Structure 1
């Protein structure tokens, strides 16, 4: 297995403050890897360490098989980077600025810049200093994608973009992955991670709380279930369900149709087997989205 990114006990301290604490990550080549976390979780710090913008206090990282510290300009040309705080000023046009970046980053295919600008709705003839935050973000995306780098490192890439442009960005990410590129992105827009990423790392206070695919994060979450029974005794149903350790907040409403509600943590296989002997007329499982799952992870970690 080849990795586009690998970190071992990666740590960054500023005096007594720890921004990143012993992070171990592997990002497979050709995958889309997302980092989720609140402000101050360590997402931007991790990206800056991978790009050698800052140096680690301890631990190590490899990017595209090389150390960011020794990889030099050749390694940088294989990376497209969009910082979370994009500062673009000047009296030059967007086209002139991108031409300058192209001379630094390496060859850009003819027509590539115009094609990306058209997809994002970006006017390249306007001066950079006149652009809105959203249009500056589009300019940043074009410079990151235009030379088709092996690795894209994107910090909050859809900040300031309207929903239609966000969807176009997701299409660009999928196309990059189809072309064999690796995408490493962070976001507060959890639906964006849910729609784009193969793997997700959840960060809190500089520490990785959990790593997994989107489906497993959602499967490990707490889900609400509602079950309707007929032709059964409420006490028998209650007894069968109380034996399930993963079923909480159980309520049983007696009547012609007995309705049971509760919450289930993790897989529901045991619940399905427990209700199998009864006549079930309806079963509803309200599955959490990724946002709810991540919020639960934050809450559980804070209560430890």
Structure 2
């Protein structure tokens, strides 16, 4: 199999503002044709990373390559291959959305016939309304149209579904998958883990300018925390507690007896096979295991990162 070159590569990438280090020695290699998510709380360094990729700001040290080129010298030919949606999109003016998109089209390069109309229809966007009358959500849709319309090799999207309803969010996810399937690379930054988890192949978790972990979404799910609720017959609460205490990744569990049943509530992290194998020997009246809590999994990484920094 031929290995494709990295769409984005960062080596020891650092950005300082006087005494503040916004980004501290980032190393990342993002494969071509993938969806890469960067998540972290506000102020973690996500937007700084994006601005360095696009040569809006320049690094204090380290290197970055985008589509095989240095952003500082890539010029218009590199920018034409990138679709960008900023996190704080500010659109004003007494022009219609259609006129504004035409202006962007002159900058972006060739656009397939009907591409703009199709995107607007998918996002339920009226291009004939004046930009200044649009809500924040509709301005965001306009930003998505201009980012996707020329089918760029790289999409860089900062908080892309801010202010959008669930239907538009689902349509956006479909657009991202289609872009990836056509060979494009998508760099997606968000503080909403659910959004990144649905779209991305791989996720970097950023905190205070440092990467805590890079993981596939599947690996995150496997290590995530689940809530467990169960009811058993013919076993006492004490016997259940004694048996389950041997399962190392089962925590915060409690067993009580009520109405002839023993009720269990617990938290389990990572692999659930040991738990399932153990309770299979009991008479189970009811069992509910929640979907993996990715938010809690990432919060645990944040806590660990904070502890390491002390």
TM-score (norm 2): 0.89
Pick closer, same or farther for the CA change 1:268–1:99 going to 2, 3 Å.
same
1:1-304 matches, within 5 Å, as 1-2=3-4, 3-232=6-235, 234-254=237-257, 256-304=260-308
- Following superposition, the deviation at residue 211 of structure 1 comes to 1.9
- Following superposition, the deviation at residue 106 of structure 1 comes to 0.9
Report the Cα distance in structure 1 between the residues aligned to 2:225 and 2:305, rounded to whole angstroms: 15
Between the two proteins, the alignment pairs up a number of residues equal to 304
8 Å Cα contact 1:214-1:290 kept in structure 2: no
Report the Cα distance in structure 2 between the residues aligned to 1:261 and 1:129, rounded to whole angstroms: 52
Structure 2 residue runs without a partner (length 5+): none
Secondary structure of residue in 2 paired with 1:85:
coil
8 Å Cα contact 1:31-1:181 kept in structure 2: yes
Cα deviations by residue, 1:74-96 (Å, 9 ceiling, x for unpaired): 11111101111112223333222
Cα deviations by residue, 1:141-164 (Å, 9 ceiling, x for unpaired): 111111100110011111232333
Secondary structure of residue in 2 paired with 1:248:
strand
Report the Cα distance in structure 1 between the residues aligned to 2:168 and 2:277, rounded to whole angstroms: 46
Structure 1 residue runs without a partner (length 5+): none
8 Å Cα contact 2:225-2:294 kept in structure 1: no
Report the Cα distance in structure 1 between the residues aligned to 2:230 and 2:69, rounded to whole angstroms: 54
Cα deviations by residue, 1:252-295 (Å, 9 ceiling, x for unpaired): 32474333332222212222333344444443322333333333
8 Å Cα contact 1:221-1:296 kept in structure 2: no
- Following superposition, the deviation at residue 47 of structure 1 comes to 0.7
Pick closer, same or farther for the CA change 1:283–1:13 going to 2, 3 Å.
same
